[in-house]
Amino acid sequence: MPTLANRVFAAVPEGLRWRLLGLQQGLHEPEVKVVREALALGGTALDVGGWWGPWSYRMSRHADRVVVLEPVPELAAYLERVSPESVEVVQAAASSAPGTSTLWVPSSGLGSEGRSSLALSPPESEAVEVRLVKIDDLDLGDDLRLVKVDVEGHELEAIRGAVETLQRSHPVLVVELEQRFHEQPLAEAFAEVEALGYRGWFLDGRAWRSTDEFDVERWQTRWEDQVATASYFGATRYRSKFRNNFVFRPAD
């Protein structure tokens, strides 16, 4: 049965929904503050895993151009309808090579699509065949300033398809990484990204700390152990120090 949050989410007009989610994102993911920092001079931003558009909304307020990769057909169509002309929506998933693959899309109500994954099939999910693209094959120009990647376990594959772009433009990277999705230690994932000319950081309260200090046992306890404090528009806030967003800034 849909939750109250799901019902409210469905009732809000589409354009207003996009704006409200964007405004609320600062409560759910404080790392979104890097949008203004990275796009202070405008330029291009790339949102990999657009969902209902909270990050692309924030990006569109500062960037000259925003490109959104969203493989779920209904979400891509929604973003096309609500986004301004400066936002280009590409219905595809980012990976290390072009082609097609199966995306597992949860069927537990509006908002749950944010857990869609190429890496694993969550309970009560639907298999959807989607197009894969390399970020290096996108026409992003030379002024790419910010890239956000949130793709439920497929982050490193997306980054491996963006090596040329990252080494050329060195945009700020915001990457969601969770140990539960990866067999390799997160320290190795951090090292792979940093080898492209980056230093990684995460927020501990209001302070930025190096990924060298990140302790999975301390900051990524089991997902089931997180205590929900609020649910809004298909997203949930948790009373814990669970940290899964990492900001990689150019090392120089």
Instruction: State pLDDT tens for residues 231-252.
Output: 445 444 444 578 899 999 999 7
**Tokens found for residue 197:** 């000319």
pLDDT digits (tens, 9 = 90+) for 131-178: 999 999 999 999 999 999 999 889 999 999 999 999 999 999 999 999
**Tokens found for residue 31:** 């790392």
- Residue 152 within a domain: yes
How far from the centroid of its chain's Cα atoms is residue 150's Cα? Answer: 3
Q: What is the pLDDT of residue 228?
A: 42
Q: What is the pLDDT of residue 125?
A: 86
> Over the range 190-220, which residues count as b (16 or more CB within 10 Å of their CB) and which as e?
beebeebebbbbbbeeeeeeebeebeeeebb
Q: Which helix (H) or strand (E) holds 144?
A: strand 144-149
Place 222 in a pLDDT band, splitting at 50, 70 and 90: low
- Residue 223 within a domain: no
- Residue 236 within a domain: no
How many domains does the structure of the chain reveal?
1
Tell me the CATH number at 99.
Answer: 3.40.50.150
- Residue 163 within a domain: yes
- Residue 229 within a domain: no
* Confidence check: pLDDT of 105 > 80: yes
Contacts of 95 (CB under 8 A, 6+ apart): 101, 118, 132, 133, 134, 154, 157, 158, 161
- Mean pLDDT for the chain? 88
What's the domain range around 172? 4-213+245-250
- Residue 218 within a domain: no
Of 28 and 206, more confident: 206
Instruction: Name the pTM for this structure.
Output: 0.90
Torsion of CA 243, 244, 249, 251, to 10 degrees: 80
* Confidence check: pLDDT of 28 > 70: yes
